[in-house]
Amino acid sequence: MPNFSPEQELLFATAREVAHERIAPIARRAEETDEHPGDLIELYTELGWPSITKPQAHDGPGGGVTEWCLLMEAISEVSVASAHILTQPSIYLLVDLLGSEEQKARLFPLLDSRWSCFMASEDGAGSDVGAIRTSAVEKDGYYVLNGHKAWASNANFAELFVVLASVAPGTGAAGLRIFVADGRETTGIQVGPPERLMGLRGSAVCEVVLDNVEVPAENMLVGRGGGTRDFVEFMNATRPHVGAQAVGLAQNAMECALRHTRERRQFGQPVFEFQAVSHMISDMAIGIEAARELVYQASAEFDRQGPRRGELAAMCKVFATDVAMRVATDAVQCLGGSGYSRDYPVERMMRDAKVLQIYEGTSQILRSQIAKQVSRRIT
């Protein structure tokens, strides 16, 4: 592991133990039924993990992106879907980044007792957030929101909805603002059924329709002047946690491949002894080690608000998720026919790894962003 403080090392060790002993059985059930695991939410709440990033100034643990990543890596060793459900730390980070002191004092207590979801994507606006059509029209001290959101994680049980919308439709990214809608205080939020996904089973993402949803003007977060600047800074905070999910998944996939190839014998020797197989394991270990270092370099850069936080966040997300996809695919190959069977976990890891290359910025769009950032920094 990278150079962590004793407190961080203890957090990871504890989270890893909880993941293997308590989360894994819940994750296996959710994988089979594809039903949302309410008892997992109860467990996370009991452990205090949803508020890991709540600032100490507001009576929180005071963890940063690094602590959140440690939780993500540990949980993802047993289930990326279970890690994906733990999005609440991102909203604490968002409010801390962009909220005024008055907003923090008012919104943090709501987050303590209610789960939230962040809604940016739309059918016609994924990587291109400037194409967002959800509108926010000011009226009598409120903003009235109308639009359709897609891929909203945890929307099926959330009570706070954090929405990226435009106060000036047709102006592109410049008109974007972030709003916090309280599902208990407003009407018009219509959540559709969970999407049927290739992976992430038990972790719900839904379509959400906003029909004249009234949000008080004081619930608009404008920390850096609105536009894409606020959204990009939020992504700089969240992308390392996807990299951490990838590292956890890849670590488990490699260990499954290693155990199987050491135990299974062909032609009078363990499969692991064949150079073609042992070199696959070697490449897995190299990639995982490099990905882990990059993820925690990026998380530390964000926590200290370093100048390269956006560049490193994108780099770690691209590199770690590509590693996870490659490791999971090779793990299936190492297990042979067994790897393609649902009796073994690597086929699930292969399905889950794919989405890591897509959400929070696709690998393709992030590579374009990285090229521009590197060019600016070097020239």
pLDDT tens-place string over residues 135-145? 999 999 999 99
Residue 351 has pLDDT above 60, yes or no: yes
- Over residues 89-95, mean pLDDT: 97
- Over residues 37-44, mean pLDDT: 95
Residue 188 has pLDDT above 90, yes or no: yes
pLDDT tens-place string over residues 242-251? 999 999 999 9
Does CATH number 2.40.110.10 belong to domain 116-221?
Answer: yes
Pairing of strands 205-216, 142-153: antiparallel
Q: Does 170 or 373 have the greater pLDDT score?
A: 373
- Over residues 341-346, mean pLDDT: 94
Q: What is the reported pLDDT for 125?
A: 87
Band of residue 50 on the pLDDT scale cut at 50, 70, 90: very high
Phi, psi of 207 (to 5 degrees): -85, 140
Band of residue 1 on the pLDDT scale cut at 50, 70, 90: low
Residue 226 has pLDDT above 80, yes or no: no
- Tell me the CATH number for domain 6-113: 1.10.540.10
Q: Does 280 or 128 have the greater pLDDT score?
A: 280
CB 162 within 8 Å of CB 155: no
Q: What is the reported pLDDT for 116?
A: 96
Band of residue 134 on the pLDDT scale cut at 50, 70, 90: very high
Nearby residues of 73 by Cβ (< 8 Å), 6 or more positions away:
12, 244, 245, 247, 248, 251, 292, 295
159 is catalytic: no
Which one from 31, 73, 233, 360 is the annotated catalytic residue?
360
Band of residue 228 on the pLDDT scale cut at 50, 70, 90: confident
What is the token pair recorded at 76? 């993802």
Q: Would you give the distance in Å from CA 262 to the centre of its chain?
A: 33
Extents of the domains making up the chain: 6-113, 116-221, 227-378
Nearby residues of 118 by Cβ (< 8 Å), 6 or more positions away:
87, 90, 91, 94, 152, 153, 162, 164
Tell me how long the chain is: 379
- Tell me the CATH number for domain 227-378: 1.20.140.10
Q: What is the reported pLDDT for 334?
A: 97
pLDDT tens-place string over residues 275-320? 999 999 999 999 999 999 999 999 999 999 999 999 999 999 999 9
Q: What is the reported pLDDT for 38?
A: 93
